[in-house]
């Protein structure tokens, strides 16, 4: 990360939390100054702020331990990972039939800021293997899954994610004009599915549909990808099956927040 974007106060807070986590209930203010190299005045202000936020707590001996605020973030983080894990399990179970019907690879992803993050892939019989392994990221605006999830966001949220309205070209087919992109998202909302025609990988077409929670929010997306010539023959089947799979996964989601 470029240093011009670095926030020293956050770095110091991280140093303090790390030191306390290693020796909970042992470090007092001056001990933390010595362990982190932070001066007394700054340490005092940082600790007071972190106490108010419940990130740290002080006992009767003036020694510090991590607070309930940090525990809350950890709980939310673990819950998020647990939900994604269960979603992956359901996707792998339910998408196997979709792969048989379409004869192509299916993928699962979530939206992370202006990118999609692949969570899982169910390989199809095609000899062409797609570069979409779990953990990989692609620009959301150039992918069917990304466009599908972006289309479900309010306009103010879209503008927050793209403050300068810049859409970088990935291939010659990527939509880069903001007004044109808004029109594309409007059409996606109307149809209920999204298509990527060589916008992220030359020669590859993809169709995607959203996985919704009980409130109708898109929490993830599923897609199937194939060579352009194959999509010309399978388009109707691909759209039908992707939408069907997304609805099945959405239905599973509505029965419990952990895809039980």
Strand, helix or coil at 223?
Answer: strand
Residue 223: per-residue pLDDT: 97
> Torsion over CA of 34, 40, 43 and 45, rounded to 10 degrees?
170
Residue 159's CB is within 10 A of a number of other CB atoms, namely 13
Contact 98, 241 (CB under 8 A): yes
Q: Is the pTM of this model over 0.85?
A: no
Per residue in 108-124, pLDDT (tens digit) is: 999 988 999 999 999 98
Query: What value does the mean pLDDT take over residues 3-19?
Result: 86
Contact 54, 66 (CB under 8 A): no
d(CA 23, CA 7): 25
**Higher-confidence position of 22 and 254:** 22
pLDDT over threshold 80, residue 131: no
**pLDDT tier at 69, thresholds 50, 70, 90:** confident
Token reading at 209: 């549909």
pLDDT over threshold 70, residue 85: no
37 Cβ partners below 8 Å, 6+ apart? 15
**Higher-confidence position of 138 and 84:** 138
pLDDT over threshold 50, residue 200: yes
Strand, helix or coil at 193?
Answer: coil
């Amino acid at each position: 990360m470029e240093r011009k974007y670095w926030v020293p106060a956050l770095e110091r807070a991280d140093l303090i939390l790390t030191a306390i986590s290693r020796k909970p209930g042992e470090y007092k203010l001056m001990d933390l100054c010595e362990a982190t190299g932070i001066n007394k005045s700054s340490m005092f202000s940082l600790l007071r702020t972190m106490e108010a936020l419940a990130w740290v707590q002080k006992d009767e001996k003036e020694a510090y331990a991590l607070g309930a605020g940090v525990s809350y973030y950890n709980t939310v983080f673990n819950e998020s990972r647990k939900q994604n894990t269960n979603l992956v399990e359901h996707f792998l179970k339910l998408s196997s039939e979709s792969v048989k019907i379409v004869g192509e690879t299916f993928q699962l992803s979530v939206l992370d800021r202006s990118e999609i993050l692949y969570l899982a892939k169910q390989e199809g019989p095609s000899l062409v293997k797609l570069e979409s392994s779990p953990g990989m990221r692609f620009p959301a605006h150039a992918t069917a899954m990304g466009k599908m999830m972006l289309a479900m966001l309010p306009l103010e949220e879209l503008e927050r994610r793209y403050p300068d309205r810049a859409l970088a070209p990935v291939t010659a087919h990527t939509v880069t004009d903001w007004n044109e992109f808004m029109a594309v998202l409007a059409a996606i909302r109307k149809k209920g599915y999204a298509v990527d025609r060589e916008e992220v990988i030359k020669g590859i077409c993809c169709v995607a549909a959203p996985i919704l929670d009980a409130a109708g929010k898109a929490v993830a997306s599923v897609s199937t990808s194939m060579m352009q010539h194959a999509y010309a023959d399978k388009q109707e089947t691909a759209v039908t099956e992707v939408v069907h799979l997304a609805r099945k996964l959405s239905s599973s989601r509505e029965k419990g927040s952990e895809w039980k």
